[in-house]
C-alpha cells in the first residue's frame, strides 16, 4: 500500500442540500475501502474542522461529498492549502462543473452540443424564456444554476407553471437555469482514469440508458424508489454509443476534470442528436448510483472502484499521479 494511503479520510455529510445522499455515499465508500485493507476513517466537514485532517495525520482524502461545500471547489481548495491529496477534479474544474452556466459556456466554446438555455433572475424572465423555447417547439426544464441531484428541478409545459418553477429553483439558488427540454432517451456516461503503459489514460465507461416513470428522473426516483429502470448495455446502436462516449470525453477534458466524473446526456428522439446536460465531479456512490453500475460492466467491483478512485488522489499544484 503506497504512503499516500497510510491514513485516509472519507469526507462525507457536509452542509449542502445533498447531505443525506452524501451520508449514504460516504458510508458505502468507507466500508468498501476498509474491506480493501485501507486505513480509512469517516470525516464530516460540517462538524469537524478541516485543519484536523492535518493535525490527525491524514495522508489522503476520498471525497464523497455532493453539491455545495464539497463538489464546488471549496473543500478542494482547503485540501490544497493543507497539502493533502484528494480524489476527483481540482479546484477550478470542480467550481466550473457545479455551475451549469459556466459549464455550458465552456462546452459551447468547444463546439460541444448542449440544449439551448437562458438564465432567469425572476419569474417574469422564466416566463419569457418559456415563450422563447415554445417558438422552437420545446417545452422547458427549470433548475437551480448551482445545484445537483435534480433538486429544485421542474419540467414546464405551460406558461402558468413558470412562476412555481422559478420559486422552486430560487429556493436553492438566486438564479434559475431555463433549458429547452429535449424529448428522447436519457443516458449517462461515467468517465474513469485508468492505468495505461507509462501513462494514466481516461476512459468512457459503457452508457446507461435511464427509463424513469413518465420520463421523470427526479430526486425521489433517483434515490428512493425502484421504479426507474437502468439499461446496461444501453441498447443504443454502437456508432451512437461510441459518439456519445467521445463527446463526454471531450466535455470532461474541456473543463479540465480529472480522476472520475459522470455526464448526463439527452438524445433527441427525432434527430438522434445527443445533447450534454451537465457533468458531476463527485457522483453518488449509493445503492442506486450509476458509476458503480458502469464499473461493474467492465469488471470492477464496488470495492475495487473505490480503491481505484482513491489511488488517483492528487493535488492541483503537484501534477504527478500517486500510485
Q: Annotated active-site positions, please?
A: 18, 149, 223, 262, 264, 278, 280, 284
Total count of residues recorded for the chain: 323
Closest CA to 266 of 204, 217, 205, 194: 217
Q: Helix axis angle, 100-109 relative to 238-254, nearest 10°?
A: 110
CA atoms in the 13 A half-sphere facing the CB of 82: 23
| Range 207-226 burial, b when 16+ CB lie within 10 A, else e | bbbbebeeeebbbebbbeee
Compute the distance between CA of residue 215 and CA of residue 223 in angstroms, rounded to an integer. Answer: 15
Q: Distance (Å, rounded) from C-alpha 76 to C-alpha 70?
A: 7
Q: Are 260 and 193 in contact (CB under 8 A)?
A: yes
Other CB atoms closer than 10 Å to residue 16's CB: what's the count? Answer: 24
Q: How far apart are the first and last CA of the chain?
A: 9
How far apart are alpha carbons 226 and 217 in whole angstroms? 12
Pairing label, strands 140-144, 176-180: antiparallel
CA distance 299 to 159: 47
Q: Are strands 8-11 and 60-63 parallel, antiparallel or unpaired?
A: parallel
Amino acid at each position: 500500500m503506497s504512503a499516500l494511503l497510510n491514513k485516509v479520510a472519507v469526507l462525507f455529510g457536509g452542509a449542502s442540500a445533498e447531505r443525506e445522499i452524501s451520508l449514504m455515499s460516504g458510508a458505502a465508500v468507507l466500508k468498501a475501502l476498509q474491506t480493501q485493507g485501507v486505513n480509512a476513517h469517516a470525516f464530516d466537514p460540517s462538524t469537524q474542522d478541516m485543519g484536523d485532517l492535518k493535525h490527525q495525520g491524514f495522508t489522503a482524502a476520498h471525497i464523497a461529498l455532493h453539491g455545495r461545500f464539497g463538489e464546488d471547489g471549496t473543500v478542494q481548495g482547503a485540501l490544497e492549502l493543507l497539502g493533502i491529496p484528494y480524489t476527483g477534479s481540482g479546484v477550478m474544474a470542480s467550481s466550473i462543473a457545479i455551475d451549469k452556466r459556466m459549464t455550458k459556456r465552456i462546452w459551447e466554446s468547444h463546439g460541444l452540443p448542449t440544449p439551448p438555455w437562458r438564465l432567469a433572475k425572476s419569474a417574469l424572465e422564466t416566463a419569457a424564456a418559456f415563450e422563447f423555447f415554445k417558438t422552437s417547439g420545446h417545452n422547458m426544464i427549470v433548475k437551480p444554476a448551482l445545484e445537483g441531484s435534480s433538486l429544485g428541478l421542474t419540467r414546464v409545459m405551460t406558461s402558468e407553471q413558470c412562476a412555481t418553477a422559478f420559486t422552486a429553483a430560487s429556493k436553492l439558488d438566486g438564479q434559475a437555469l431555463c433549458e429547452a427540454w429535449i424529448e428522447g432517451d436519457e443516458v449517462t456516461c461515467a468517465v474513469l482514469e485508468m492505468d495505461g503503459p507509462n501513462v494514466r489514460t481516461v476512459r468512457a465507461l459503457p452508457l446507461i440508458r435511464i427509463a424513469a416513470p413518465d420520463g421523470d428522473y427526479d430526486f425521489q426516483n433517483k434515490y428512493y424508489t425502484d421504479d426507474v429502470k437502468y439499461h446496461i448495455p444501453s441498447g443504443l446502436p454502437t456508432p451512437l454509443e461510441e459518439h456519445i462516449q467521445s463527446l463526454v470525453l471531450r466535455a470532461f477534458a474541456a473543463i479540465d476534470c480529472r480522476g472520475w466524473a459522470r455526464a448526463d446526456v439527452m438524445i433527441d428522439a427525432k434527430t438522434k442528436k445527443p445533447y450534454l446536460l451537465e457533468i458531476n465531479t463527485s457522483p453518488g456512490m449509493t445503492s442506486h448510483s450509476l458509476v458503480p453500475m458502469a464499473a461493474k460492466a467492465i469488471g470492477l467491483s464496488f470495492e475495487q472502484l473505490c480503491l481505484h478512485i482513491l489511488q488517483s488522489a492528487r493535488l492541483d499544484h503537484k501534477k504527478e499521479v500517486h500510485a
